[in-house]
Chain A
Amino acid sequence: MSAVAASTANLTRRNFLKASIAVAGGTWLGTAIGCSSGDSLSGEGSSSQAEEQVFNGVCKPNCFHGCQLKVHVREGKVVKTSAAPYPNPEFNRICLRGLSHVTNIYDPDRVQYPLKRVGERGANEWERISWEDAIAEIAEKFTSYREEFGDQAVMKCAVSGNYGSINGGFTSKFFSSINASTMAPSLDLSNAIGLNRVVGWAGTWMGNDPRDLKNAKNIFIWGNNITDAQIHEWHFVADAIEAGSNVIVVDPIFTHMAAKAQKFVPIRPGADAALILSMMQVVIEEDLIDREFMQKYTVAPFLVRDDTGMFLRMSDVGVQPAEGPVNLLTGEPTKIDPAVVWDGVAGASASSAECAAPEIEGEFTVEGVACHTAYSLLKAEASQYPPDVAEGITEVPAATIVELAHLAADGPVTHRVGWGPQAYDNGVHPHHAGAALAAITGQMCEPGKIYGCADINGFTGFDATLSAPATPVTSPTISNLIMPEVMETGTYMGEDIVIKALWVYQGNPLCTFVDSNAKKKMFDKFEFIVTVDSMLTDTARYSDMVLPCAQFFEYEDIVGSGNNNHVVHCDKAIDPPFEAKPDTEIMRMLAEKMGMADLFPESDSEWLQKYVDTEAAAALGISYDALKEKKAIRWAPDPLVRWTDKKFLTPSGRMEFYVEAPTPMDYYGQQIDVNREHLPRFFPPTEAWPENPLHEKYPFVLLSERPRFRVHGQWFNNRILRELDPEPTVKINPADAAAKGIKTGDHVECYNDRGHAVAMAVLNEAVRPGTLVYPKSWQVHQHLAGGWSELSSSSHDPVAVNQSYMDELCDIRAWEGAE
């Protein structure tokens, strides 16, 4: 001990400070129950006195996790959230967002009471109004619009907000009961479309249980920053690495996931389909295919007519279709008309339903009809991309492509896809190609073998009729991607349409939809916009009325979605603060005002009980009472491994890498190139591609990342998380930054012809040269100028009708000053 320390060892805090410091303690001291300033001065626990209650909660943003949390309450206030136990503790989970609910619930900027706009739209000038006045005005406007212009004049829009059940259930019931139109979110679907066109529609984002990863010898992770975007799946990947799995990350960005992988394969953004087709070419060239799997479980041997591109059917060769089970919708028997294959042994055509070992390759003429096998067509497509050619497209070295092809055939192989490659106008095809690669290598249907996403399919056994209207909805559902045109022209599908009012709930479209300047112009065409939210988001600020809603722990709910495959009961832990109300109560008030007082005959609890007490749920031991007691009950097989019965949900029951009759995801009168969609193809992104002449003017591809600090605009104002991530940033490769004279900490403007965003530059070698990466979900008012969604494009693939979040070019320059 030093001399100084020895001589002062009897000092106390109080005599050292004397009177220079006032009585210590926090701002909470005056109100914390049972906790006096004296307690604090003693250094004792700040919060040990009040009795704590623990409620079961669910964190419900669209980050996929649906995490069951404990909500700790003292004196009617949430003081903490923590991970709640699942039946299997491997699924116990919480993240930094789940831990910082306290500063969302008690955000000083939370909307406290209904607000009515008094300034220009977007000026953020409001007056407080009563719920009675708000509901009366909405009811009056909705009623008059419907009477004058028709039911479709009122539109609803939800996107990636609160993924509970009862809030959306009530809102859907109300708006479908008034036959309202719907603005569709049209997002993050291209991976699901590409995958599901091959395996059948098994749910929007489908994959195996994360515990299955460790059964894979090789794990390909395609454009998926699991370590940030699906943080709760990372430990399963880590388990797999510890168990010996080899992880390959294909991504333009060197993420933490890439840093953990044994191999990082940097790729030019939007080029994934070319890489996969090239891997296929190598697999085929080196005969690494799984012939038997292809014969039995894929459409490889199906004969495709040269003249029509359709499968040759037995009816084409004179065999009348057999009658199958009655179609419940039509009441008519289904027709069974198998595809024709070529029986090489017999030297004759045969029914795919009967031939055990058909030829998978070749061209055959049957009854005068020239055909190729589906596999021959796929092979011809892949043959255009030998590794040296693909290297020029993807900037992945040819030798690496050969190595990847070998790994993809060395099973068990799991392909895990994210939401990066799908974020371009060519985004269906990498996933169509990937599923085809899995099909020709036989890497499906057994543990460790899958081509899929994070499985976020929810429990489907709930009673959906509770949300259904008495009569079917006839007003249209229109993609937000074409809404600017619809509102500008007043026509949809060739007919006049008038839409006057918009109800935004569970979402923040002006933040999370592409091309926000075009969207604002579209919003300007609405006469009346109501947003239900707990915070003044971009969308709320651009509305005419904002209704304050309850957050996740402020009403009872049941959640069956998320990538944990459980149904979870969410208690009401606290009352909504101020004048906030649950969506259910808002809908009841509006229904009553509009003369539909009987629309919601049940209490919220009764509704939830009916919602969950179905035969399907009972078969799994799931009921309202059981959930109240057990909190979380698994609904999926344990573990969930897809396709083990080798029966796919396609029309043929096989993996259809040749798509006989491609259809658009959402039809609004557009033309699609059917021939292109039969097979996985590579074609460049619409904008974000070096050969695009616009690239000379705007030389950077603008990529986004799902940050750990926010989800789809939620948590944007969280004061704890903002200490870690205070303001909008854009990451730039140091070489590009040097060329532009940009340093870390500079405020820079990223811009293109559609708009701009000003953010703080951060130099980072993880960023691929020629690209910029921005963390998503800041609100416009948090930028010095502009906002990220201004730069993205409404251009989209007419087949996928999906927002292409990364198919965009821009340039970057120093920000000179305020607007």
Chain B
Amino acid sequence: MTHYGMAIDKKRCIACNTCCVGCKVENNLPENMWWNRVVNEGGENPDSPSGTYPELKMSAYTLSCQHCINPACVSVCPSEATYRDAETGIVMQDLDKCIGCNLCIEACPYGVRTLQEDEPVYYTDFALGGEGAPGHIAGTVEKCTFCHHRVVNGEQPFCVEVCPARARTFGDLDDPDSDLSKLIASRECEQLQLDAGTGPSVYLLV
């Protein structure tokens, strides 16, 4: 089977938020819903370094669903709304089944799932985003789908396509010849919270 994953190059990521905004528009995310966020490594505020001026360090990466091999969210979901797609390895969310119980939010070690608590409020009175983008329903939990609606049509996730830093690589981790597999093999990598045992499919190139 195909096992889609992603690499984010911390040497290239500049915390510009372009991928986050691309995700926002492509998926027609309602107000205040963000599936992808910048994590600043340094001080506590955006674009703030660690250290004392001028001995400073700063880096950034983005955080969204890690599309784990053993997703903590799937095992706790009481309604089979969350599942790992057999064909792509993408962790999906069936809003029709989601009961908004928040167990997945509590279980996910990455904090990348969000309850759309109220009726979604949109920026426009028509749907934004890509063709086939997912819907949004009050009382359900949402997250990154690796742009499943694009990937099944042979396209890249939108965040990968728009990244001005060329920091994001998407591909099949099961294919040793994929650009992604070769990149991961050639670079020092980190994965987030490996001790949680979830087997994340996102790699940070350091």
Chain A interface (Cβ < 8 Å from any Cβ of B)? 1-2, 4-5, 7-13, 16-17, 21-22, 24-28, 30-33, 35, 39-48, 52, 72, 74-75, 77, 79-83, 93-96, 99-100, 102-103, 106, 227-228, 231-232, 234-235, 238, 241, 254, 256-260, 264, 266, 708, 719-721, 723-724, 733, 744, 762-769
Q: Which of A12, A254, A744 contacts B45 (CB 8 A)?
A: A744
Interface residues in B, total, Cβ within 8 A: 81
Least CB distance, B161 to chain A, in whole angstroms = 7
Tell me which of B61-69, B71-79, B172-180, B189-197 binds A: B71-79
Contacts A31-B126, A95-B18, A234-B165 given; indicate if A764 touches B48 (C-beta within 8 A): yes
Least CB distance, B8 to chain A, in whole angstroms = 13
Contacts A13-B96, A95-B164, A235-B165 given; indicate if A27 touches B121 (C-beta within 8 A): yes
How many angstroms between the C-alpha atoms of A289 and B17 in the bound complex? 44
Residue of B nearest to A767 (CB): B53
Q: Which of B34, B53, B129, B138 contacts A46 (CB 8 A)?
A: B129
Q: Which of A21, A74, A721, A766 contacts B53 (CB 8 A)?
A: A766
Q: Which of A8, A22, A99 contacts B162 (CB 8 A)?
A: A99
Residue of A nearest to B80 (CB): A9
Between A and B, 8 residue pairs with Cβ closer than 8 Å are A4-B103, A24-B138, A31-B126, A46-B127, A99-B18, A720-B123, A733-B53, A768-B53
Q: Quick one: CB contact mask for B128-156 with A, threshold 8 Å, 1 for yes?
A: 11111111111110000000010000000
How many angstroms between the C-alpha atoms of A1 and B54 in the bound complex? 51
> B31 — which chain A residues lie within 8 A by C-beta?
719, 723
Chain B interface (Cβ < 8 Å from any Cβ of A)? 11-12, 14-18, 20-22, 24-26, 28, 30-32, 34, 42-54, 56-60, 75-81, 94-101, 103, 119-140, 149, 158, 161-162, 164-166
State the total of A-B contacts with C-beta under 8 angstroms: 267
Q: Which of B15, B53, B122, B124 contacts A256 (CB 8 A)?
A: B15
A26-B121, A94-B22, A238-B11 given. 12 additional CB < 8 A pairs?
A5-B76, A9-B79, A13-B99, A43-B96, A83-B162, A238-B12, A720-B21, A765-B42, A765-B43, A765-B48, A766-B56, A769-B53
How many angstroms between the C-alpha atoms of A763 and B52 in the bound complex? 12
Q: Are A21 and B139 in contact (CB under 8 A)?
A: yes
B-side binding surface: helix, strand, loop or mixed?
Answer: loop
How many angstroms between the C-alpha atoms of A30 and B162 in the bound complex? 31
Q: Which of B43, B45, B48, B131 contacts A47 (CB 8 A)?
A: B131
Residue of B nearest to A705 (CB): B47
How many angstroms between the C-alpha atoms of A724 and B17 in the bound complex? 9
> A260 — which chain B residues lie within 8 A by C-beta?
11, 14
Q: Which of A17, A99, A232, A259 contacts B49 (CB 8 A)?
A: A259
Q: Are B45 and A762 in contact (CB under 8 A)?
A: yes
Q: Are B58 and A26 in contact (CB under 8 A)?
A: no
Q: Are B97 and A13 in contact (CB under 8 A)?
A: yes
How many angstroms between the C-alpha atoms of A227 and B59 in the bound complex? 12
Q: Are A41 and B16 in contact (CB under 8 A)?
A: no
Q: Are A24 and B139 in contact (CB under 8 A)?
A: yes
Q: Are B11 and A48 in contact (CB under 8 A)?
A: no
Least CB distance, B145 to chain A, in whole angstroms = 11
Q: Which of B12, B149, B164 contacts A93 (CB 8 A)?
A: B164
How many angstroms between the C-alpha atoms of A258 and B53 in the bound complex? 12
> A235 — which chain B residues lie within 8 A by C-beta?
12, 164-166
> A13 — which chain B residues lie within 8 A by C-beta?
79, 81, 95-100, 137, 139-140
Residue of A nearest to B54 (CB): A266
Least CB distance, A232 to chain B, in whole angstroms = 5
> A9 — which chain B residues lie within 8 A by C-beta?
78-80
